[in-house]
Structure 1
């Protein structure tokens, strides 16, 4: 087997890479940072998914990183990529030449920074595949110490509680991204990280929820349709933001540019926005139009 330019990151290199290299470009590097931290934690458990964390061992200072979150069943690999500003050309060579990405499995590139998104798109095309933008997003974040100080006022008719495995099926049935994420993503998130819900105090029905997800950020913020316009979205977002801060985790969320409700919620809580957009790309088979007018598709 040919040697790869990348190597799997050993545990002894992770602290230096995260705290000394990635923190130089904070908070733009926050996804790579918490993806690595979550991967290290989950790989030491019986999680259904696995994380592979790759870096340039002979040039750790440039921050080039490719992380692969492999899901069970037929769900795509989720890929997180990063390199420090100024190293884009080297990152391009690495992405083109690494053998660790299985392009035929049609992976999902998660929240790619705009400055390297063109490299990802062109590399997908060079591999004989097609890139499709899954969603165009912004990344919002809040320092952990500020998050820990948030005041959460809970209305009398509801309470905040921990999510557990009994909630997995219900949550997954409401999730708009079940096309690319396995139900095990919800299961492992609840069992290995944590999630909070807004519950009806009398019936104990789950009305809204959010979690500290598989990429280490705030994820899966959902309010059931019949419970909307009652402030529960902001309530659960603030509650889990505070809990993440209390645990020393810097809260961050990746939000679709068209999701106006969520953008307003996070702004009202006090989240800041990083300076550049982030984009999700799906890798697909190239479409063979055979002369059919593509404007009709």
Structure 2
């Protein structure tokens, strides 16, 4: 097992006893901090995955927080190959601590950043342009401002066209296989999500899983997918509303990440009272000395030229599924 470093040049490992106070601190910067805030909350409450959180050595005067790994699967399955970062948008100059962090972060190797606030990513790109290039995928973070009630219609859909229920372990393999960015997340995380968090599917009268949506380890509602033969039945709206209610009841802040061009998902969530918070970016950072044919974001080999960016990831909407697999 890879050694967990107690500190880097500019950051120190957080003791778990500190996490509740850090969650309170990050709440002061909502909605910009929502992804990191909800990751911490999910970690404390549900322990879906083992993350290691680091703050600056003079936190909170310089309020930069990291967690490793940033996703559950990277090409070499190394703890420090991927990270997530948050810094208040009015304190972005503190991100210079990332540029000089040469213990926790090896800038001479490819690095995988999951969805990160676009202003933070822009500041990272300012200094990374001297190190290498970035491959980027954009998504917009939407959160629920005003809950919308439509229980009667939802119940009618359930009674007429299918039954909604919590997913089971036996569904994890199929959901992972059909997850557009499964090269970024291992199947074990889907198994743990199903075991610990709201993960629901709509089942046909024949008992076949027709559509599904889950709450992620970082709090977002993601992986909404509907099989082609079951589309236009309202299952997406049904799942989104059901999961939104459950997430809220459990004390989480419901949010989703949507591709800018995905008008269908924007319309769906607008009906549920969601509004755009900010733009976010997923990126692969590649040093210039890396060979051009390096394949990122997969489980070692394979993949496409875009690596981990080739897929919708947690971006929402009915994804075209290629067969029942």
SS of 1:97's equivalent in the other structure is coil
Partner of 2:112: 108
Distance 2:73 2:92 in 1: 32
Distance 1:3 1:67 in 2: 13
Listed as ranges, the matches of 1:100-249 within 5 Å are: 100-103=104-107, 106-126=110-130, 128-133=131-136, 135-142=137-144, 146=147, 151=151, 152-153=154-155, 154-156=157-159, 157-200=161-204, 202-249=205-252
Answer yes or no: is 1:278 the counterpart of 2:283: no
Q: 1:270 to 1:14 in 2, by over 3 A?
A: same
| Worse-superposed segment, 178-187 or 163-172 | 178-187
Q: 1:57 to 1:3 in 2, by over 3 A?
A: closer
Q: 1:95 to 1:41 in 2, by over 3 A?
A: farther
Partner of 2:10: 5
Cα contact 1:208–1:232 (8 A) shared by 2 = yes
Partner of 2:89: 85
Deviations 1:176-229 (A, max 9, x none): 1113222223222212323011111x2111111111102111111111111112
More helix by share: 1
Aligned residue pair count:
279
Q: CA deviation at 1:235?
A: 1.0
Q: CA deviation at 1:29?
A: 0.7
Runs of 4+, deviation exceeding 6 Å: none
Cα contact 1:17–1:60 (8 A) shared by 2 = no
User: What are the ranges of 5 or more consecutive residues in structure 1 without an aligned counterpart?
Assistant: 290-297
Q: 1:3 to 1:219 in 2, by over 3 A?
A: closer
TM-score (norm 2): 0.77
Listed as ranges, the matches of 1:281-292 within 5 Å are: 281-284=283-286, 286=288
Q: CA deviation at 1:125?
A: 3.9
Cα contact 1:96–1:123 (8 A) shared by 2 = no
Cα contact 2:10–2:97 (8 A) shared by 1 = no
SS of 2:51's equivalent in the other structure is strand
Distance 2:132 2:197 in 1: 34
SS of 2:238's equivalent in the other structure is helix
Q: 1:75 to 1:176 in 2, by over 3 A?
A: farther
Q: CA RMSD in A?
A: 2.7
| Worse-superposed segment, 279-288 or 109-118 | 279-288
Q: 1:131 to 1:239 in 2, by over 3 A?
A: same
Partner of 2:101: 97
Distance 1:115 1:52 in 2: 24
Cα contact 2:63–2:94 (8 A) shared by 1 = no
Q: CA deviation at 1:73?
A: 7.0
Residue among 29, 33, 55 paired with 1:25: 29
Partner of 1:58: 58
